[in-house]
Structure 1
Amino acid sequence: MITDRHYEIIVYGATPGGIGAAVAAARRGRRTLLLEPSPYIGGMMTSGLGRTDIDWLDASGAIYREFAHRVEAHYTAQYGTASPEAEACNRGMFFEPSVARAILEDMLAAESRLTLVRRSELLSAEAVDGRLTAIAIETEAGEGEWQGRSALSADVFIDGTYEGDLAAMAGVPYEVGRESRDEWNEEYAGVLYMNFGPSKEVLPGSTGEGDDRIQAYNYRLCLTDVPENRVAPGKPASYNREEYASLSVDAAEGRVRSIRDVLNILPVPGGKTDTNNHHYCMCSSDLPEENGTYLEGGREERQRVRDRHRHYYQGLLWFLQHDESLPEAFREDAQRWGYAADEFADTDNFPPQLYVREGRRILGEYRFTENDARLAPGLGRSPIHADSVAVGAYAIDSHATRKREAAGRNVALEGFLGLGWLTEVYQIPYGVMVPLGVDGLLVPVAVSATHMGLGTIRMEPCWMQLGYAAGVAADLAIAGGAAPRDIPIDNLQDELLAADQLIGFYRDIDASGLMGKAIQYFGAKGAFRSYEARPDEPLTVERASALLALARLLPGGSRFPALPAAGAVLPAGADMGPRLPREEPSPAAYWQRHPLLTQGLAGRWLQAAGRALSAGTAGAAGGSVSASAAARASSPAAAWLRTDSAAAAEGGPSASGGAGEAAPAVSVGEWCALLYGLLLEARRAGSSGSGGR
């Protein structure tokens, strides 16, 4: 056994979530080890799932956006910008498995602080006083010095597996199965018969009771109808025609008319497809009820389940192409399709990764439910999470948990559902990856969620971004000498926003600029009640004061001064008299007549804020400009805020309501950018006030 191997961060499982975590950690300078139990990296994104499940690219960020850009660059460079392949890649969200694998391999190889070891199976995990400290692995031949058994330790571990294997072995509590409607007040939880079609009719028998069932697994095939690249599927030795015989009745009664009614065959570049289970077919590529032993099974049992799913699928293809109970035209059309010869050459053109749609779900500091991805009562958006670290944008769904039965009336398989018309873009809180009871570990894939909640989080782009957040969080934990659960969430959000991760979604912002990042940050703290931030809208003094009060509650903001109580403050040296203040309009009447925050007033406030952030040292007036310069230099506010006294007096309304009344107003986005820039500066300078995670 190789002993005394220590890494700062160890990631187990090279799924997209694990890759996101490992890349983030390595890029932040941490000595990182990525372990993968199979010979292959990339999970489903390199194993046939070529149409990544996200509604639009603008609802993603950071590492997944980088991956998509690389995919698009590949197709445009190889085929041309106006080529069918470049168009078919859909801005990088659709791709061939081999292209995804090559890109992910390149991303990993580019990180000098990252070591990747494949064929490394977890044997045990050691937790001391509630903290995961070490693991033991066994590595197959072919990995050089890593061959055999190894004991490894790390400062922080990250479980990137679909199954949640490291978390389970470390003693993290978890659940498998479906909750009832009562447990988390989820409208569509538990036993459900739903017509997946447009009607979404719920059939009798939908009792909402919980059970230990999980949604069906399958494989995502890469098929092609290009003759020169097509390999005809063979008949498996374990072929059992009775498993597919109901399709003959479906064909005779008009429920299926071609292979496309049995399998969901959708194009990706290269004349290939991502072929999945068909939502409307009662006998498709999913295999409900036959994955129950997979999660807790050992190596042999898991391989048995994989083989069973593979042979079932191969038998389905054989039936569709050759069974004489189907119409001849049906069979001839089906025979147009075969495996892509240039994909998965080392596994007989069949993808190696079983689609584990649902594994263990840890019990974490927050449980994500159906309600977190739906419209929050009274808001124009999903619920707000102050510790948001990523955004999700895919319909809540689940595949079947039972095979075909009479209760489904030939239109529904129990457990199969899709809530696209109800699902909103949503925030994912950091707490879902922080396990209860075990420190030193983050779990960004087998997250803390109900069956329904996982039904939307379980998409590769989402997992990849959660993994990235976990890698950054692990780095911050090490840097601060803290457990991952205790890191300052605002610092994590700062780092994620700086890396173009989304922590909030708004339809009317540019998320890449400081203004967009500021709006996401304040949105996570409750400042915006819908998906429209209206960043260009003139800001009222009422709202400016409310945002300022919110900023004062956040780390770095406790020293922020109040807004000037008067509409104009004359610069020192200017004679205020003669004046009769008691005869002027009251402050309440004044602000009613002048409801907007002007640039001059904001400039005056910024002067005082600079003095406050300079810690009250002598010469604070000079220090105030330097104290805010870094934040303002990159801020959209830099162009309109002039902080010298003369400019401030010139820009604001006069006490008597004179010429200054027409001064331009500050916008919502500008004020957010200014406040967030100052918060960033204060936090980076170590002058953070009260308020944590």
Structure 2
Amino acid sequence: MKFLSLLFLVLLSFSCQQKDENVFTADLIVYGGTSAGVMSAVQAKKMGKSVIIVSPDIHLGGLSAGGLGFTDTGNKSVIGGLARDFYHRVYMHYQQDSAWKWQKKEEYGNKGQGTPAMDGENRTMWIFEPHVAEQIFEDLTQENDLEIHRDEWLDREAGVTLENGKITQIKTLSGKTYRGKVFIDATYEGDLMAAAGVSYHVGRESNATYDETWNGVQVGVYQHKHYFKENISPYVIADDPSSGLLPEISASPSGENGSGDKRLQAYNYRMALSRHPENRVPFPKPENYDPARYELLARVYAAGWGETFEKYDPIPNLKTDTNNHEPFSTDYIGKNYDYPEASYADRKVMLKEHTDYQQGLLYYMSHDEKIPDSVRSEMALWGLAKDEFVDNGNWPHQIYVREARRMIGAYVMTEHDVLGAKAVPHPVGMGSYSLDSHNAQRFVTADGFVQNEGDIGVHPENPYSISYGTLVPKKEECTNLLVPVCVSSSHTAFGSIRMEPVFMILGQSAAAAASLAIDGNVAVQDVKYEELKVILDQENQVLTQKK
């Protein structure tokens, strides 16, 4: 009888182990392997918490490792904590002779955006190659012994379990379950936040919603250079409406200025291009390549435009971070409106469409006779960087999701906060970049010409604080979730907040708050700000502008 009892216990133990092999538990579950996600996990470990990063992506770092190497810094003095450490690590990497494989260090021009690329006085570097950034994120995971589950996609339909306003567990499509005390949604899309039933907004609010000026439709507002300066016909046969619209132009009305809509600022891939003969790959020709879809660009050239290479921003080793530039470029305008709430399968289709459009554009600029000879000759010197994104055909693995869902949380940041018109309560970090939105639509004007709409660029006079309330939902909706990327803000405020250094800052601050909520067994909304501020000060976060 004793033997049978022991055998039963052994079998029961084995059965329980088998049952729980796909169940993982930690104090903090971070969903998303973006820069914010990694910094969240590092901070939680620093505060003695167990943490698991559940990442849909295989590569860590999001856009910081996905092509955006020409960092949008704004005022670099307000970038502190782990974010500043990241850029210090970039600096240390490029102090090594071995880092300069395709270019001599002294030949690099040190051009940055708003600050020198390499700031020796502060031992930071703000401009870098994608693979360097990704390696730094991987180094952080090793140094902090982070547990990361890659290629794990949240079951958005039935994968979030809530009890009494708290998330108790999430499940992924592979069948794994993750249980935690607090959860952080660090994705660009806000998928966990949405699946948890938290309120959010997609698109542009009307100006009336928050008494703003730069929200909603902005026809005729040209604050950057991304518009058609000349009168360009939108029709297949120039000036003949009966011939139909050219590709990439919407037939829908633009809408009234200041009105809200569901349009999103355009996405694109931030490409790492190389002009070193031994490190460049010819621009691929998409299978569905159709030169007709780029006729608008040919007409822009024919009208006298010649600024093709102004946004081939230099990063080390004769490479670029190539971004959208002027009226017809890499932004795939109007093709992302459904992306935030689309299924994974539909998003995959959209990503392929964006890739085909952008690769087709490069091929067109390199080969089509409608492109000026001078441009084609220069394009022949460029190609995809052979040593970047080597497992993805040298194409970035992360699209630039400039804006998707935005939480409607405990505090909504608006342009009034960003532009300094009101004091921000309970600061947990700072931003400083312009209210920056790319175009949201390409339409036909009343005069019968093509035009873009949605681009704004209003610069704050001073850096501004970001409230803790932007990271947490309303308490009645969820009490153990923090959202450091799809933060609670208006479209215009998000245009400034949405920079990678800021996401790192907010990821770190969110994890510090999560740790305090765990220690005190309280809702994230009830974390005592005074205690949080002490920790953030210790971590060298910059919370307010120094007088």
TM-score by length of 1: 0.67
Question: How far is the alpha carbon of 1:4 from its aligned partner?
Answer: 4.3
Partner of residue 212 from structure 2, selected from 186, 198, 214: 186
Structure 1 position 206, deviation (Å): 5.8
What is the SS of the residue equivalent to 1:157? strand
Q: Give the distance between the partners of 1:283 and 1:200, measured in 2 at CA.
A: 8
CA-atom RMSD, angstroms?
2.3
| Structure 2 Cα separation of the partners of residues 234 and 4 of structure 1 | 43
Alignment of 1:213-292 (within 5 A): 213-254=263-304, 256-257=305-306, 259-260=308-309, 264-278=311-325, 281-292=326-337
Shift of 1:327: 1.9
* Rg (Cα) greater in structure: 1
For 1:408 and 1:43, how far apart are their aligned partners in 2?
42
Q: CA deviation at 1:410?
A: 7.2
1: CA distance between counterparts of 2:143 and 2:202? 37
Q: Which residue, 396, 402, 412 being the options, matches 1:367?
A: 412
Give the alignment of 1:86-485 within 5 angstroms: 87=110, 89-91=117-119, 92-112=125-145, 114-123=146-155, 124-138=159-173, 148-193=174-219, 194-197=221-224, 207-254=257-304, 256-257=305-306, 259-260=308-309, 264-278=311-325, 281-376=326-421, 383-406=422-445, 413-420=452-459, 422=460, 424-436=462-474, 437-485=477-525
Q: Quote how far apart the aligned CAs of 1:339 are.
A: 0.4
Distance of 1:172 and 1:45 partners within structure 2: 27
1:189-238, Cα deviation, whole Å (9 max, x unpaired)? 11102213489999x97621001111111100001111121111021011
- Find the counterpart in structure 2 of residue 523 from structure 1: none
Q: The residue matched to 2:175 in structure 1 has which SS? A: strand
Question: 2-side partners of 1:5 and 1:70: how far apart?
Answer: 32
Kindly state the Cα deviation for residue 3 of structure 1 after the two structures are TM-superposed: 4.7
Please report how far the alpha carbon of residue 24 of structure 1 lies from its aligned counterpart in structure 2 after TM superposition: 0.5
User: Counterparts of 1:632-651 in structure 2 under 5 Å?
Assistant: none
The one-letter code of the counterpart of 2:316 is P
Alignment-derived partner of residue 58 in structure 1: 77
Partners of 1:413 and 1:353 in 2: how far apart?
25
Partners in 2 of 1:219 and 1:438 — Cα distance?
Answer: 34
Question: Residue 259 of structure 1 contacts residue 333 of structure 1 at CA under 8 Å; is this kept in 2?
Answer: no
Structure 2 counterpart of 1:605: none
SS at match of 1:287: coil
User: Aligned in 2, Cα 1:199/1:82: closer, same or farther, shift over 3 Å?
Assistant: closer
Shift of 1:386: 3.1
Instruction: For 1:489 and 1:397, locate their aligned partners in 2 and report how far apart those are by CA, in whole Å.
Output: 30
What's the offset of the Cα at 1:25?
0.4
- SS in structure 1 at match of 2:138: helix
1:127 match: secondary structure: strand
Deviation of 1:295 after TM superposition, in Å, equals: 1.5
Q: 1:222 touches 1:274 (CA, 8 Å); kept in 2?
A: yes
Amino acid corresponding to residue 483 of structure 2 in structure 1 = V
Preserved CA contact (<8 Å) 2:435 2:496: yes
Deviation at 1:406, TM superposition (A): 3.1
Map 1:458-537 → 2, pairs under 5 A: 458-506=498-546, 533=547
Check the 8 A contact 2:210/2:414 in 1, yes or no: yes
Q: For the structure 1 residues 7 and 188, does the alpha-carbon distance in structure 2 shift closer, same or farther, using more than 3 Å as the test?
A: same
Displacement of 1:166: 0.5
Instruction: Give 1:240 shift.
Output: 2.1
Where 2:384 maps in the other structure, the secondary structure is: strand
- Distance across 2 between alignment mates of 1:86 and 1:499: 33
One-letter amino acid matched to 1:236: P
User: Is the 8 Å Cα contact of residues 225 and 327 (structure 2) preserved in structure 1?
Assistant: no
Amino acid at match of 2:382: W
Between the aligned partners of 1:7 and 1:130, the Cα distance in structure 2 is: 19
For 1:409 and 1:43, the matched residues in 2 are separated by: 40
User: Partners of 1:258 and 1:331 in 2: how far apart?
Assistant: 13
Per-residue deviation, residues 571-615 of structure 1 (Å, max 9, x unmatched): xxxxxxxxxxxxxxxxxxxxxxxxxxxxxxxxxxxxxxxxxxxxx
For 1:444, what is the secondary structure of its paired residue? coil
Partner of residue 38, structure 2 = 19
The match for 2:48 is: 29
Contact 2:75 2:463 in 1 (8 A): no
Equivalent residues of 2:444, 2:450 under 8 A apart: no
How far the C-alpha of 1:398 sits from its partner, in A, is 0.5
CA shift, 1:384, in A, is 2.2
CA distance in 2, matches of 1:122, 1:199: 36
The 8 Å contact of residues 396 and 423 in structure 1, kept in 2 or not, is answered as no
What CA distance in whole angstroms lies between the structure 2 residues aligned with 1:407 and 1:46? 42
- 2:228, 2:452 within 8 Å by CA — same for their partners in 1? no
Q: 1:411 to 1:375 in 2, by over 3 A?
A: farther
Rounded to whole Å, the distance in 2 between the matches of 1:501 and 1:410 is 49
Gaps of 5+ in 1: 139-147, 377-382, 507-532, 534-693
Higher RCO structure (Cα 8 Å, ≥6 apart): 2
- Judge conservation of contact 2:224–2:455 (CA < 8 Å) in 1: no
Q: Contact 1:259/1:320 (CA < 8 Å) preserved in 2?
A: no
Structure with bigger helix share is: 1
Q: Which runs of 5+ in 2 are unaligned?
A: 1-18, 112-116, 120-124, 230-253
Q: In 2, distance between residues paired with 1:208 and 1:319?
A: 36
Q: Distance in 2 between matches of 1:357 and 1:320?
A: 25
Q: Is the 8 A contact 1:195 1:411 kept in 2?
A: no
CA contact under 8 A between 2:224 and 2:456: conserved in structure 1? no
Change (3 A) 1:271 1:492: same
Letter in 2 for 1:259: T
Find the aligned partners of 1:493 and 1:226 in 2 and give their Cα distance.
48
Deviations, residues 599-637 of structure 1 (Å, cap 9, x unaligned): xxxxxxxxxxxxxxxxxxxxxxxxxxxxxxxxxxxxxxx
CA contact (8 A) 1:215 1:400 kept: yes
- Which residue identity lines up with residue 469 of structure 2 in the other structure? G
SS at match of 2:178: strand
Q: 1:84 offset after TM fit, Å?
A: 4.2
- What SS is found at the alignment partner of 2:96? helix
Q: How far apart, CA to CA, are the structure 1 residues paired with 2:161 and 2:380? A: 53
Stretch moving more, 236-245 or 496-505: 236-245
1:257 CA drift (Å): 1.6
Taking structure 2 as the reference length, the TM-score comes to 0.85
Find the aligned partners of 2:255 and 2:401 in 1 and give their Cα distance: 27
The one-character-per-residue Cα deviations of 1:475-511 (angstroms, maximum 9, x if unpaired) are 11111111111010111011001110010122xxxxx
**1 CA distance for matches of 2:185 and 2:299?**
45
State how many pairs are aligned: 484
- The 3-state SS of whatever aligns with 1:161 is coil
Aligned equivalents of 1:198, 1:165: Cα separation in 2: 33
SS of 2:153's equivalent?
A: strand
CA contact (8 A) 1:433 1:443 kept: yes
* Separation of aligned partners in 2, 1:53 and 1:205: 30
